[in-house]
Amino acid sequence: MSIDKKVREWQEAGLLDEATGLRLVDYEHKRRAASEQHDHKPPVLVIVGSILLALSLFSFVAANWQAIPDLLKIGLFLLFMVGFYVFAERVR
């Protein structure tokens, strides 16, 4: 439900006067406009490059999987898992 409808509903219920309702609506519209300006999307080339880098790392590990000791396999798996999680949080 939009803020305009909610404020109108509160005004009709007698919970809010008209001046305060207008200030609330103006504030929410300004805040929403400011947050839309700050939305940051990562460039497409960064996304494609990251995917290609991840694929190359996975293919290298897969090609040498039998030669890697078990403890190093676990470490690599955890490193990839944590690394991609941190990367996803930073991009978001």
User: Taking all residues of the chain, what is their mean pLDDT, rounded to a whole number?
Assistant: 86
What one-letter code names the amino acid at 33?
A: A
pLDDT band for 29, please (50, 70, 90 cuts): confident
Determine the average pLDDT of the residues in 11-32: 88
Picking from 55, 52, 46, the residue whose alpha carbon sits closest to that of residue 90 is 46
- The 10 Å Cβ neighbour count of residue 50 is 15
Q: What is the pLDDT of residue 77?
A: 87
Residue pLDDT, tens place only, 65-86:
899 899 998 998 899 899 989 9
What one-letter code names the amino acid at 63?
A: A
Determine the average pLDDT of the residues in 56-68: 88
Distance CA 44, CA 58 (A): 21
What one-letter code names the amino acid at 56?
A: S
Q: Mention every residue, 6+ apart, whose C-beta is less than 8 A from residue 37.
A: none
Determine the average pLDDT of the residues in 37-48: 78
- Chain-centre distance for alpha carbon 91: 7
